[in-house]
Amino acid sequence: MDDLHQPELLARLQHKIDNKTKPLGSLGRIEQLAIQLGLILGTESPRLSQAQMLVCAGDHGIVKHGVSAFPSDVTWQMVENFLAGGAAVSVLARQHGIALNVIDCGVNHDFTPRPGLLIRKVAYGTADSLQVPAMSSEQCQQAIDQGRDIVKNLPGNAVLLGEMGIGNTSAAALLLARLGDLDIADCTGAGTGLDHFAIARKVETLRLVLKRHASATAPLDALACLGGFEIATLVGIVLQAAIDNRVIMVDGFIASSAVLVATRLAPRVQQRCVYAHRSAESGHRLMLETLQATALLDLGLRLGEGSGAALAWPLLQSASDILCDMASFESAGVARSD
């Protein structure tokens, strides 16, 4: 994976944005974002094309221990809602012209094949990680490889990460605690809406999971023992998108956990990532700190699905258009300040 820190291109991009008809630095983080897009796409005039929202779905065996306010059936029901166009991410993707594909990575349900659905089921949900590894190493690698293959067959130069899986805030919290060397209580939040007592029970359950898999410290071992099929598929998507020098728009807590694993495997992945928002899920702040990342938005979101990524997408489009289309002082005939 190439290092995107190219001093000559960076200098040209900085010169270009500095010479737009505006006070120096007056567009703030939009200017930083424009430069990042130029570095990712390798050009002084980065144009975003054919953005792809990939919503990866899977079920989790640990749900039987009461770590979610919703039953596992909600996973497949929400997949149907995505495909019918009724979910928040469906509405937002439609609004912004983003292609939406839903990927069955391991949902405990058989779906009727149809456009917009990619069936890449590894199994009917992960195993109960309180008892055994959530995935075998072979299943984990299968999910990663399938994520890579999905990206290889997609057009465009940008991917937006989405997910669905009842119980997956638990998997994300476990990965953050293990790979970030943090206390699980600090990484664990309400998820789908647990009350204070249920969160405490969730924390104790996850603490036991970490104890059972204490030796799973390497990134792929942690992913297999603690993660989910949808998270592993997202890891593959992120790795391949980074190799392809696509812009990677990261959604919330669960999507960020996949990026955390990917960056542990290939640190230069981080150069291609744009973090859409800081989730209201309590662990996401720590996740962003662990990734040394700053999110574009902070709107109190905790829906998942890729909804935050879709909401932030217009900011990327604006950054691209500013860099490509905004006049310079010279072209507009505008005098500079002394």
Number of other CB atoms surrounding residue 6 within 10 Å: 14
CA distance 111 to 104: 8
Q: Which residues are marked as active site?
A: 305
pLDDT in tens, 150-194: 999 999 999 999 999 999 999 999 999 999 999 999 999 888 788
Distance CA 287, CA 252 (A): 10
The pLDDT of residue 294 is above 90: yes
Pairwise CA distance, residues 197 & 208, whole Å: 17
Q: Residue 246 has what DSSP assignment?
A: -
Q: Note every long-range contact of 120-126, with CB atoms under 8 Å and residues 24 or more positions apart, other chains counting.
A: 120/146, 120/150, 120/233, 121/229, 122/58, 122/146, 122/229, 123/229, 124/59, 125/58, 125/59, 125/60, 125/61, 125/72, 125/229, 126/58, 126/59, 126/60, 126/61, 126/62, 126/227, 126/228, 126/229
Non-local CB neighbours of 273 within 8 Å, separated by 6+ positions: 238, 248, 250, 259, 293
Q: Once rounded to an integer, what is the mean pLDDT over residues 248-256?
A: 98
Residues 171/261, Cβ–Cβ less than 8 Å: no
- Secondary structure class of 67 (helix, strand, coil): coil
195-246 pLDDT, tens digit each: 888 899 999 999 999 999 999 999 999 999 999 999 999 999 999 999 999 9
**pLDDT band for position 338 (cuts 50, 70, 90):** low
Closest C-alpha among 188, 265, 183 to residue 222: 265
pLDDT(337) > 80: no
Q: How far apart are CA 285 and CA 282, in angstroms?
A: 6
Identify whether the C-beta of residue 102 lies closer than 8 Å to the C-beta of residue 57: yes
- Which phi-psi region, left, alpha or beta, contains residue 181 (left: φ > 0; alpha: ψ -120 to 50)? left
pTM of the predicted model over 0.85: yes
